[in-house]
Copies of this chain bind each other. A is one copy, B any other.
């Protein structure tokens, strides 16, 4: 399962015209970002600000000076993880083998969720009340999934009696599975099973 490289989080400190951050502030900002990344990776949406601050070696006030809310911080980091997934999805829409491309993408997204719990949490909560920015990211991803799935159906690889909503529901369930399984290989097997379910009998992989 190939994993998608995450673009490094931007540490740019000021747009043109704005004054540059003081050197210590700049160091702290980077430490906070790194700490938040680690905490969200480990605890998903349950990561707490105190933990992030402690890991970064700063006070909570310093965290809030850089990011107005916990949500804003999480979103900044989520974006760095979702953006490459979107790019991968768009690329996969060009793939000649539409069905295979879709199934590969399912594996990628699961793999990425395994190594970054906050992504799994966000995907799993897509139907619940998550903030609008995350809703938007997930919405765009799901839109691409819908397109990919339709292409796979047209190509005859994916079942026509399954709707994009079904796939979305299964993906949300899968995201929860990620948070429950301690073994990533088991998650991969579950994804395999769901892929099997989505293939047409003609396209079924040999047993």
Q: Residues on A close to B: CB < 8 A?
A: 124-128, 159, 161-163, 165-166, 169-170, 172-177, 179-182, 186-187, 189-190, 193-194, 196-198, 200-201, 204, 207
Q: Are A170 and B186 in contact (CB under 8 A)?
A: no
Q: How many copies does the complex hold?
A: 2
Q: Are A170 and B190 in contact (CB under 8 A)?
A: yes
Evaluate whether A176 and B172 lie within 8 angstroms (CB atoms) in the complex, with A127-B181, A201-B207 already known.
yes
Q: Are A169 and B187 in contact (CB under 8 A)?
A: yes
Q: Are B172 and A180 in contact (CB under 8 A)?
A: yes
Report the minimum CB–CB distance from A149 to chain B (whole Å): 13
Q: Which chain B residue has the least Cβ–Cβ distance from A207?
A: B201
Q: Are A128 and B180 in contact (CB under 8 A)?
A: yes
- C-alpha spacing A170/B187, complex, angstroms: 9
Residues of B within 8 Å of A165, CB to CB, are 186
Evaluate whether A193 and B186 lie within 8 angstroms (CB atoms) in the complex, with A172-B177, A176-B124 already known.
no
- C-alpha spacing A128/B176, complex, angstroms: 11
Q: Are A162 and B201 in contact (CB under 8 A)?
A: no
- C-alpha spacing A170/B124, complex, angstroms: 14
Report the minimum CB–CB distance from A31 to chain B (whole Å): 30
Report the minimum CB–CB distance from A15 to chain B (whole Å): 39
Q: Are A169 and B162 in contact (CB under 8 A)?
A: no
Given A169-B190, A194-B197, 17 new contacts (CB under 8 A):
A128-B179, A161-B207, A166-B189, A169-B177, A170-B173, A170-B194, A172-B176, A172-B180, A173-B173, A173-B175, A173-B176, A173-B190, A193-B194, A193-B197, A193-B198, A194-B194, A196-B197
